[in-house]
Amino acid sequence: MKKILFVSATNTDVGKTYACEKLLKHYAKKGFKVGYFKPFETGVIDFPLDGTKMLNLVKTLNPSFDVSINDCVPYQFKLPAAPYVAKENTIIDIEFLKEKKKYLLQFCDVLIIEGAGGLMVPIEKDLFIIDLIKIFEANAILIAPSKLGCINDTLLSVNALKAKNIDFELFINLYEDINSFEKVSKPFLLDYFGKLNFLEDLEKS
Alpha-carbon gap, residue 14 to 23, rounded angstroms: 15
CATH number where 195 lies: 3.40.50.300
Name the pTM for this structure: 0.96
69 within domain boundaries? yes
pLDDT tens, residue by residue, 125-152: 999 999 999 999 999 999 999 999 999 9
> Please, what is the average pLDDT of the chain?
96
125 is catalytic: no
66 within domain boundaries? yes
Cβ–Cβ under 8 Å, residues 20 and 49 = no
153 within domain boundaries? no
152 within domain boundaries? no
The per-residue pLDDT for 63 is: 98
The per-residue pLDDT for 129 is: 98
Taking residues 5-16, report their average pLDDT. 96
Check 3, 25, 33, 38 and give the catalytic one.
38
Alpha-carbon gap, residue 146 to 52, rounded angstroms: 27
How many domains are there within the chain?
A: 1
151 within domain boundaries? no
The per-residue pLDDT for 204 is: 77
82 within domain boundaries? yes
The per-residue pLDDT for 205 is: 73
**In terms of residue numbers, what domain contains 166?**
3-145+159-204
Cβ–Cβ under 8 Å, residues 145 and 175 = yes
The per-residue pLDDT for 52 is: 97
The per-residue pLDDT for 162 is: 98
Neighbours of 149 (CB within 10 A): 13
35 within domain boundaries? yes
Residues annotated in the binding site, as ranges? Answer: 13-18, 42, 50, 114-117
- Band (pLDDT 50/70/90 cuts) for residue 1 is confident
Cβ–Cβ under 8 Å, residues 200 and 172 = no
Query: Residue 47: what are its φ and ψ, rounded to 5°?
Result: -160, 160
The per-residue pLDDT for 21 is: 97
pLDDT tens, residue by residue, 147-179: 999 999 999 999 999 999 999 999 999 999 999
Taking residues 90-98, report their average pLDDT. 97
The per-residue pLDDT for 203 is: 75
| Residues of the chain above pLDDT 90, percent | 96
88 within domain boundaries? yes
Taking residues 56-65, report their average pLDDT. 98
